[in-house]
Structure formats: structure tokens, C-alpha cells
Amino acid sequence: MAIWCADLALDRWRHSEGCQRGEGADAAPLVLITETAHGPRIDAANRAASAHGAARGMMLADARTLCPAIQTRPSDPAGDLAFLERLAVWAQRWGPWSAMDAPDGLLVDVTAVAHLFGGERRLLADVEKRCTARGLTVRTAVAPTAGAAWALAHFGPSSAILAPDDDMTARLADLPVAALRLDNDVLLVLKRLGLKRLGDLVGIEEGRERSNRQDNHGRDSIQRRFRNRKSPAANPLVRMDQLLGRVPEPLLPVVPVTAPMVQRRLLEPIRHRPLLDKVVEDLAEDMARTLEAKGQGARRLQLGLWRVDGEVILRELELAAATRSPEHICRLFAERLDDVDAGFGIEMLRLRAAWSQPLALDQSDLEAAAEQHGTSLAACIDRLTTRLGPKAVQRPVPRASHIPERAQGWQPPLEPEPALQGELAFHTRPLKLLDRPERISVLYAAPEGYPRRFSWRGQVCEVARVEGPERIAPEWWREKGTARLRDYYRVEDEEGRRYWIYRNGLATDGRGGMPDWYLQGLFA
């Protein structure tokens, strides 16, 4: 069974405005637009706008010349898709599985289901009644194959039913070739070849023009014409075979995923911390059982606390690796519950695993033996991030840049390192880098020569040994044109203190006056 929501975007807009079709805000001409590179383009037009000549795919400026009073709203394709996904899940009331047919259709498998609703006709009537009650304009069709149902829903009579013992080619012969779900350029080619109806295509295929010679000459020539088109949407023969059920057409069913959730309604509102901890512990154990049954571990957990006065307190937790250990979850939540204001009491708690990952069952004995030695790395990082925040626990990773402070990035510790071309280790880099380079005053023999002496934070360093300069040019694709190059020097003073200093620019580069000196890194 195919369901086509002919007017999905506008139906959703009407629902959000709370008006009926043709009433209120919908009475005036209105279009939904998308901003494109060449200006706003119309995605959908309501009936009043269509009467004035606005149509889908038109530029807004063209529509304005036809109807100056036209109103515009931004369209929401992502929201439409999400709505369609929910609708597909809801449509499983009519069949065991359903698939999305983006952007505005659904396919429901109703094999051996229709008798439950009293036959196909009453099934379709039920679909239309329920969809209309939700404010959706739909066209429906039932056919033995998904392609045929789609073609009938879009181009056939309303509520068309194609029974398995009907002559499929005869019933579908009058539909236009657009019913084959082909790309626009292929449709254009077919139109230029003079193939406008499905019947024309079927006729060529079967070689009906030369019915005296039973050969497949017609099919061969179309096959040659489209021999490089492998995808079904670009090859009319594949689509035709799918429509007639000669080759299978795989569909991707929509499977609803519910986040594991456990909750406790309490007989008596709780106001004290020990009781709260106890309930959270129970919840964590319930959650562990729920997750274990699914073979999953939680990555993100949400704890909602419903107070007697209707307030909801939410606490969220993100874990470095999938886990379902109740002790670990309790310990992490215990830190987050310190600032909870219970008010007159908490009457319901709900724990939800908003993000979970597969986690196989493991042998508990070995784990318990290892547990006595200490925590695992993931548990340790969870504890640190819960108390110190996710920004505090990080791992340095290399980045593609020559500027020293940009050549290092930070990322969460357990994520894999990004692939990067290895740097040649020509140059020695300091062990520690200051967050921002500190200005130093330098005594030098020549403006572009070695530094002799510098003072930093009130201490004077006599340079005893120096290596350099290592010249690093500014990144012109990131910075302004006035950015100056840097000449880095490794210096060691008489006491052995080793620093990384640079001169920002040259005296003669014409991008400012005499260059400043900065100290950026400390060597070991």
C-alpha cells in the first residue's frame, strides 16, 4: 500500500498555525520558500496562491509579478522528514512494517492484512479517514508491488486497488512515464523518444509492433540506450521490471527505537538525601537489567526528578565508554545531586538512557577480580569529567599547521586520533607551551642577529647558546595580510635554562615598526 501525502509541507504549516484548509491564514495566497543561490524558490503553494499562478519550483520573484500580495514562510524540509518518520512508525498500525518514501510518501506492507480491516476498500477508507482527521491530504493505492502502488497513488484514480489477478500491464498502461519514479533527465530523454505512457514502453519491450516476429529487439535497443545507467532511478527498464514484479525491489523499513527507561513513582515524597540515593540506586539496578536484556550499555543518561509542585529537575550524565554498572552510575550521579532542591519532596524519578551502544555481556568473575586492583580507564575518566567538566580532561592531538599553537588540538581522551600526515622531526619543540606568548625585552647585536640577553618576568637571562632562526611564515589563508612571520630561536642561558623565543617580524618587512620578541615555550 502506498500513501502519498500530497500536501505535506503545507499541512504541517496549517497544523502549526492551527487553521483549517482555506480558512484563516490559509485563505490568503501563501507560499513556502527555500533560499537558494539565485534567490528564494517556492517549495509549496497553497490553493489561493496556485489560483494566482504560483507553482512549485518557481522563483519567488516570478510569483510576485503574478500576485504581489503573496505571503511567504520558510519551508522546513528537515522537519517534514522527521514528521514523515514518525508517520511511518504510526502507519505500522496497518501492516507489520513500513518504509519511508522521501520526501512525502509512505509504503506499508499490507500482505495478508486487508481482511483484518474488512477488505482492501475498507482498509483504504480507514487510512483516508484517519489521515484526514490529522489534517493530512493523502492519496492511497494498493497493488502487488511497491512500484505499482506508488504509481497508482501518484497518478492513478483515488483509492485505486490493483488485485493480484488483474492484468497489471493493462491497468497501468495509461499512466505517464513519470510514474516509474525516474530522474528528471531520464524523463526528458523518454519524452524526446516519444515514450509518454507506460503502455508505450511496454509495447516496445514486448516487440508488439512486430508481433509477427517474436523477438526482443525493442527491449535490446532501450537496454543499449541506457546501458551505462545502473541505478534504478536512471534506468526505465529496471523500474519497469520492478513495477511489474520481475525483479525484487529492496526497501528499508522504519524501525522504531525506544530509549531504555525506568521510573519509580513514590508513595511518599522524599526530601532527604539518603532516601534519594537509595531510589537512584534502585533505578540504576533496574536500568542495568533493562540494558542487559538488550545487550547494550549507556553512553548518556538523563535523570528526571519530578517534584510535588510540578517542577522537573533534570540531571544529565555522559560516559566515556558504554557501561551499565549500577555502582558506577550511582557514584557519578551522587556528585550531580548535591545541588538538588527537593522543595516539598520528590514524588517520581525517571532514568532514561538517551544514547546507548552495544555492549556484550562479560564474565563477571574476571571483572570482579580485576576490579579489586582499581578502576578501568573509562570509569576514571568518567569520574574526572563529572567533577571537573568535559573541557578539563583532554588529550593533545596534532593538527595540520605550522604555527606552533595551532599545530596542537585537544579532544576527548578516549576518542580515536584523527589520521594525519606525519611531520618530519627536523626541529626540536619545547616540552611546554605557554597559553599565550609573553613579551620579552631583548638585547641583540644586530636587529636580525642572535639575541644576547633578555629579561622575562623580572629575571635577566644571558644567552649562552642559541640555535636558529627557524622561520615560520604566517598562514595567509587564515590570517590578515598584515600578519608577520616568526623567527624562532632555541636559547640556553648561562644557568642552563632553555627557552623557545621568537621575533615577530623583520625590521624591514614593512608591516609595522621594530619587531617585538616573545617567549613561547619552555624546554625541559
Partner 1 sequence: MDTSTLPKAAELACRAARNQRWQPDAPLPLHSEIFAPATQGAGAGAALAFARDALCGGNGRVDTNAAASLEERSVLWVQDARAINLGGRPYRAGLPETIRHRLIHVAAETPEDALFAMEEGLRCRDLAAVVGEVMGNPRALDFTASRRLTLTAEKHGVPLLLVRLDAEADLSSARMRWRLTAAPSAPPRWNIAAPGRPSWRAELFRARSHPPGEWILRDEPERLAAERFSATTTPDHGDLVRGPGARSLAAL
State the Cα–Cα distance between residues 492 and 496, nearest whole angstrom.
Answer: 6
Based on the shown chain and the rule CB under 8 A, indicate whether residue 395 belongs to the binding site for partner 1: yes
How is residue 505 written as a grid cell?
A: 617580524
8 A C-beta contact, residue 317 and residue 253: no
State the Cα–Cα distance between residues 155 and 247, nearest whole angstrom.
Answer: 22
Binding window for partner 1 (CB under 8 A); candidates: 2-10, 72-80, 128-136, 367-375: 367-375
Based on the shown chain and the rule CB under 8 A, indicate whether residue 433 belongs to the binding site for partner 1: yes
**Of 17, 367, 415, 467, the one binding partner 1 by CB under 8 A:** 467
Binding window for partner 1 (CB under 8 A); candidates: 5-13, 80-88, 130-138, 382-390: 382-390
**Of 84, 136, 138, 379, the one binding partner 1 by CB under 8 A:** 379
Report in angstroms how near the CB of residue 465 gets to partner 1 at its nearest: 5
- The residue with cell 493523502 is 138
**Of 103, 396, 449, 512, the one binding partner 1 by CB under 8 A:** 396
Based on the shown chain and the rule CB under 8 A, indicate whether residue 465 belongs to the binding site for partner 1: yes
Phi, psi of 300 (to 5 degrees): -135, 135
Query: Residues binding partner 1: what is the number (CB under 8 A)?
Result: 55
How is residue 30 written as a grid cell?
A: 501563501
State the Cα–Cα distance between residues 409 and 50, nearest whole angstrom.
Answer: 54
Residue 36 burial (C-beta neighbours within 10 Å; 0-12, 13-18, 19+): exposed
Binding window for partner 1 (CB under 8 A); candidates: 51-59, 93-101, 244-252, 429-437: 429-437
Q: Which is nearer to partner 1, 251 or 380 (CB)?
A: 380
State the Cα–Cα distance between residues 246 and 151, nearest whole angstrom.
Answer: 16
Based on the shown chain and the rule CB under 8 A, indicate whether residue 191 belongs to the binding site for partner 1: no
**Of 225, 229, 498, 511, the one binding partner 1 by CB under 8 A:** 498
State the Cα–Cα distance between residues 250 and 199, nearest whole angstrom.
Answer: 25
State the Cα–Cα distance between residues 281 and 333, nearest whole angstrom.
Answer: 10
Q: What DSSP element (H or E) covers 387?
A: helix 377-388
Based on the shown chain and the rule CB under 8 A, indicate whether residue 89 belongs to the binding site for partner 1: no
Residue 63 burial (C-beta neighbours within 10 Å; 0-12, 13-18, 19+): buried
Binding window for partner 1 (CB under 8 A); candidates: 8-16, 18-26, 295-303, 457-465: 457-465
Binding window for partner 1 (CB under 8 A); candidates: 27-35, 281-289, 321-329, 392-400: 392-400
The CB density around residue 402, as the number of other CB atoms within 10 Å, is 12
Based on the shown chain and the rule CB under 8 A, indicate whether residue 122 belongs to the binding site for partner 1: no
DSSP assignment of 45-106, as one string?
E-HHHHHHT--TT-BHHHHHHH-TT-EEEE--HHHHHHHHHHHHHHGGGSSS-EEEETTTEE
300-329 footprint of partner 1 as x/- string (CB under 8 A): ------------------------------
Strand pairing of 138-142 and 160-161?
A: parallel
Based on the shown chain and the rule CB under 8 A, indicate whether residue 422 belongs to the binding site for partner 1: no
According to CB under 8 A, which residues from 435 to 454 bind partner 1? 435
Q: Which is nearer to partner 1, 71 or 459 (CB)?
A: 459
Q: Which is nearer to partner 1, 133 or 425 (CB)?
A: 425
Report in angstroms how near the CB of residue 435 gets to partner 1 at its nearest: 6
8 A C-beta contact, residue 137 and residue 152: no
Based on the shown chain and the rule CB under 8 A, indicate whether residue 428 belongs to the binding site for partner 1: yes
Give the footprint of partner 1 on this chain (CB under 8 A): 370, 373-377, 379-381, 383-384, 387-388, 391-398, 404, 407-408, 410, 413, 417, 423, 428-435, 456-457, 459, 464-467, 490-492, 494-498, 521-524
